Amino acid sequence: MSASAPTAVISDLRDRIARLEGGNARERAVLPFGIAAIDRVLPGGGLALGALHEVAGGGNGAIDGAAAALFAAGIAARTHGKVLWCVTRPDLFAPAIAQAGLAPDRVIYVEAGDETSLLACFEEGLRHPGLGAVVAEVARLSMTASRRLQLAAETSGAIGIAVRRWRRQTEAADFGQPTASITRWRVSVLPSSPLPVPGVGRARWQLELIRCRAGKSADFEVEASDDKGRIALPSNVVHGSPQKEIGRRRASS
């Protein structure tokens, strides 16, 4: 055996351990949000590609999953290639997904009969090299299942998004259980952006980064995904509220 053989074996073992721990020996490619306040708390400056992420709705959103689905659609819209979307309930509103930037001709829908079948479709989709993202609505996600999904995502380089959605509010406690996901998000609906004329402004979310491997937890008030899949900071968050601006002008005069 050559002298380089033990070194190669050790290197291979290190790579395997890193994958099992949710890491990667190579630097991961990322998908930035384009918002400095969010990207700076994410390792690498964005959502890791070739990785599993979790999203859930806050409050009633834990049941209807609407805001979580739109957040996931905005992320998937900014990837390249087809998007596989797996569900067990046929209530996904495709026009809303399109408004979040995910065009209908990019989405392949799969309706599974139960959670076991859905997780199998989720994993198989993540192993397919031609998909940009795989989204699946799941209620329960064990550590074993999430590790399989994470390894599958690393194999293809696709981003996996588990939209956690439950049938009863009490089941949402499962969201606190540990998984192999790289990040975990919660999206809660806020009053829409005010308009100077009668009407409904752009939707707003309270976006919570509950868990981030090798990163920090944080929360943000953002405007919902536009038709390009991009979220934004409200103007009163970026520049300060109009009331504060009026106060500053009065004080200076």
Per-residue pLDDT of the chain (253 residues; tens, 9 = 90+): 455 566 667 666 666 665 555 444 346 799 999 999 999 999 999 999 999 999 999 988 999 999 999 999 999 999 999 999 999 999 999 999 999 999 999 999 999 999 999 999 999 999 999 999 999 999 999 999 999 999 999 999 999 999 999 988 888 888 989 999 999 999 999 998 788 888 778 899 999 999 999 898 999 999 999 999 999 999 765 444 444 443 444 444 3
| pLDDT for 16 | 66
DSSP state of 232: B
CB neighbour list of residue 252: distance below 8 Å, 6 or more residues apart? none
Helix, strand or coil for residue 202?
A: coil
| 24-252 CATH fold | Rossmann fold (3.40.50)
Domain ranges within the chain, ordered by starting residue: 24-252
| pLDDT for 244 | 45
> Pick from 253, 234, 232: which is nearest to 242 by CA?
234
| pLDDT for 27 | 61
Distance CA(2)–CA(235), nearest Å, equals 63
Distance CA(216)–CA(233), nearest Å, equals 19
